[in-house]
Amino acid sequence: MVLVVRDDGRILAVRHNEKSRTSANQVTVVGGKLEAGEFLDEGALRELTEETGVHVAPDDLEFCQLVHYLDTDGVRVIGAVFTAQRWQGVPVNAEPHKHDGILWIDPGNPPRDCHPYTREVLESFTAGRLFTTITVSADGGAA
C-alpha cells in the first residue's frame, strides 16, 4: 500500500465499484498484491501507477508500517504500507473498470464507507504505529 500524503495531510484513496469482490462500494487506500519477482516497494509503486497514474521515485517511498491481517475467511496476509510526500503526475482514476473514482481523505476521520482494513491502517498511520494486527469480524467490523 502507498499512502500518498498531500501538504494538508490528506491521503489519496480510491472508491471501489460494485464489482469488487472484497470491498464493493468502499473506500480503500492504493495497494494490491505482489506480482511474481517483485519486491515490496516495486509492487507498491506499480499498484500506485496502475490505479492513479501517479509516479513516485523509489527514493521518495518511505516505510510506514507492517500489517498482519486476518480476514473473515481465515486467510492471513502480511501487508507493507509506505508513504510518499512527493510524486509526479495528477492523480486520476486509471482503473475505471475497478474504481468509481479517487478522492483525498482525512486519515484521522476517514469516510463512513471506508473499508474496515483501510480504517485500521489509517488509524495506525495517524498514531505512528509501525506494526498492526487486524482481524475483520463476520459483520465486516475490524478489531
pLDDT tens, residue by residue, 85-131: 999 999 999 999 999 999 999 999 999 999 988 999 999 999 999 99
Domains of the chain (ranges plus CATH)? 2-135 (3.90.79.10)
pLDDT tens, 47-73? 999 999 999 999 999 999 999 988 777
In the numeric block, which cell numbers belong to residue 19? 464489482
Q: What is the spatial distance between Cα 69 and Cα 50, in angstroms, rounded to a whole number? A: 24
Closest CA to 107 of 5, 2, 39: 5
| Structural contact between residues 104 and 25, judged by C-beta atoms closer than 8 angstroms | no
Residue 21 has pLDDT above 90, yes or no: no
pLDDT at 9: 97
pTM of this prediction exceeds 0.75: yes
- Give the DSSP H or E segment for 2: strand 2-4
Confidence of residue 142 (pLDDT cuts 50, 70, 90): low
Q: What is the spatial distance between Cα 28 and Cα 8, in angstroms, rounded to a whole number? A: 19
